[in-house]
Amino acid sequence: MNPHEGGVRVVVVGGGVVGRSLARALARAGHETTLVADGGMAASAVPVALLNPYRGRTGRAHPEDLAALRATWRWAAELAIEGFATGAHRTGAVRVADGPKQARAFAAAGLAPTDPEAAGVRAPHGAFLVPDGGWLDPGAWCAALTRSAVAHGARCLEGRAVVGAEARAEGGWRLQLSGAGLGRGVRTTATLDAEQVVFAIGATHWPEALEAAIGAAPAVERIAGDVVVTRRAAPALPIAGGTYVGPVERAGEHVAAIGGHHRPPGPPAVDAAARLRGAARWTLPELGAEDPDDRIWWGIRAKLPSGRPEVRALAPGVRWVGGFAGRGFLAAALVAEALATALAEEAIG
């Protein structure tokens, strides 16, 4: 029996920001929602997420990214009203030009220059302000999404992985769950039935058992990135661009996280932290100094040829949502709401 009148029984697979956003949006829309999260360390564990839709070399913003930013701030306000600490900060952000060519591209895109010194940044080629930009603490944001999803009726199975699936004769899917992460030979311990399944597994490889049962998942390009968290104080506004700097809360203070490499998957080079500090020094000289407490984090972005997040139907009742590349925290709320609406319309239709 479906206790959520008019909704469908949906299983969301993957406990990153996309899966947790989906769980919240689906539960709020009245679907009977279960989140299966294997607890794997993933891109959503990035130390800081900047919220900046003005991306790429030209600095232009895609209309969907502008809409995504509005949706994210709306969710931040809703989550706060629901009583959850979101870790989201609407401070604005500064986009710094890395040379005269980029400064010209910014001007051609109609991006009004700002006074970098007023923003506390050295920017010899100029900079513009993203007034609606900001940053969030990924851990706090994901925890708020989960609490809200549960408050709206979702069930969260943490520490479980979907390791197999079979189509049911009466319609829908029976999923096989393991007790822990994938690929560790853990024996299947439970099954879960669903009318609809949504996979939001980021850059994780698609298991052979699911390929055999459901079909191939879209091929994504996997791009690794490193972030160094230093004890130096963070700037008042996050700095966006090729090298980005944002705040991380450590021992009650906002220290700086510096990111920027794009490289093939695998652990960071031994000099990754020094290279990031060197790049950040160009705009924020005080970030250059090494500190024995510096920590390096790395993660993998999943990118589709379109460069944009997509929802793909893999089989009747099975969808794959991914390709968020470097904008999962910016875009997940909007994509999740659109999918929740689509499922509700299908249920009515």
Ligand X SMILES: Cc1cc2nc3c(=O)[nH]c(=O)nc-3n(C[C@H](O)[C@H](O)[C@H](O)COP(=O)(O)OP(=O)(O)OC[C@H]3O[C@@H](n4cnc5c(N)ncnc54)[C@H](O)[C@@H]3O)c2cc1C
Footprint on this chain of ligand X (rule: CB under 6 A): 13-19, 36-38, 40, 42-44, 46, 49-50, 161-162, 182, 200-204, 225, 227, 259, 299-301, 322, 324, 326-330
| Helical pair 17-28 and 138-151, crossing angle rounded to 10 deg | 30
Instruction: Provide the minimum distance between the beta carbon of 200 and ligand X in the complex, in angstroms, as a whole number.
Output: 5
Shortest Cβ 319–ligand X spacing (Å): 13
Nearer to ligand X, 338 or 347 (CB): 338
Of 32 and 226, the one with the shorter C-beta distance to ligand X is 226
Task: Report the nearest approach of ligand X to the CB of residue 197 (Å).
Answer: 11
- Beta carbons of 70 and 43 less than 8 angstroms apart: no
Nearest residue (CB) to ligand X, 5 versus 88: 88
Separation CA 299–CA 102 (nearest Å) = 27
User: Of the candidates 53, 74, 196, which has an alpha carbon nearest to the alpha carbon of residue 134?
Assistant: 53
Closest to ligand X by CB, 107 vs 180, is 180
Which of 291, 203, 292, 282 is closest to 245 using CA atoms?
282
**Whose Cβ is closer to ligand X: residue 12's or residue 348's?**
12
Closer CB to ligand X, 3 or 13, in the complex = 13
Tokens linked to 186: 């853990």
Q: Which amino acid is at 287?
A: L
Q: What is the H or E stretch that residue 296 is in?
A: strand 295-303
Q: For the chain, what's the residue count?
A: 349
Inter-CA distances, 206 with 112, 163, 164, 319, Å: 44, 10, 11, 13
Minimum distance from residue 160 beta carbon to ligand X (Å): 7
Nearer Cβ to ligand X (41/348): 41
45: DSSP letter: G
Give 54's DSSP letter: B
CA 299 to CA 146: how far, in whole Å? Answer: 22
Q: Are strands 295-303 and 221-233 parallel, antiparallel or unpaired?
A: antiparallel
How near is the Cβ of 1 to ligand X at its closest, in Å?
26
Q: Could you please report the per-residue DSSP string of 230-284?
A: EEEEPPSS-EESSSEEEEEEETTEEEEEEE---B-SSSPPTTHHHHHHHHHHTT-
Q: Which CB atom, from 116 or from 202, has the smaller least distance to ligand X?
A: 202
- Identify the burial level of 244 via C-beta atoms within 10 angstroms of its C-beta, where 0-12 means exposed, 13-18 middle and 19 or more buried: buried
Q: Shortest gap between Cβ of 349 and ligand X (angstroms)?
A: 28
Instruction: Write down the least CB distance from residue 138 to ligand X, Å.
Output: 7
Q: Taking the complex as a whole, how short is the minimal distance between the CB of residue 219 and ligand X, in angstroms?
A: 15
